[in-house]
């Protein structure tokens, strides 16, 4: 599969801790200190209990493909997927380093960081 340019990311106060950790090669996800649940995407309130005590927890970087779609009518075909992280949340991401015709629902995947145009490490997944 050919590589494609990964667009810039707009950093916010909610996402900055994630990208700061990713520059060190660390994958972390938000966790609520009030209800103990993890979630994705970074936001100031817990989507489960609306708690405000959000901290970052190291994550395994492992998951399974929940659903996916392959974009073929573009110059460089690619796949997007919802990956169910081992920690629970669903994460919208790209599938990389794989045969686009071999992707399957419930397939195990692992995290890989890919640099974008700004040099930030963007989380993506490849078959495990």
8 within some domain: no
Model confidence at 100: pLDDT above 50 = yes
Structural domain for 94, as ranges = 16-127
Better-predicted residue by pLDDT, 117 or 100: 100
4 within some domain: no
Q: Hey, which residues does 84 pair with through a beta bridge?
A: 64, 90
5 within some domain: no
The CATH number covering residue 114 comes to 2.40.50.840
- CB-based burial label for 9 (10 Å; 0-12, 13-18, 19+): middle
CA dihedral (98, 107, 6, 19) in degrees, to 10, reads: -130
- Total domains in the fold of the chain: 1
Helices (H), the chain: 16-22
pLDDT tens-digit profile of 72-95? 998 889 999 999 999 999 999 999
pLDDT tens-digit profile of 5-39? 888 888 899 989 999 999 888 999 999 999 999 99
């Amino acid at each position: 599969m050919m590589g494609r340019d990964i667009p810039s990311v707009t950093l916010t106060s909610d996402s900055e801790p994630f990208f700061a950790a990713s520059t060190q090669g660390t994958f972390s996800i938000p966790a609520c200190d009030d209800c103990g649940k993890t979630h994705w995407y970074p936001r100031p309130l817990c989507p489960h209990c609306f708690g405000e005590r959000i901290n970052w927890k190291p994550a395994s970087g492992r998951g399974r493909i929940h659903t996916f779609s392959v974009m073929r009518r573009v110059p460089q075909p690619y796949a997007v997927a919802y990956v169910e992280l081992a920690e629970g949340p669903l994460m919208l991401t790209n599938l990389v380093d794989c045969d686009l015709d071999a992707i399957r629902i419930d397939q195990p995947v692992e995290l890989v960081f890919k640099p974008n145009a700004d040099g930030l490490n963007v989380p993506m997944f490849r078959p495990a």
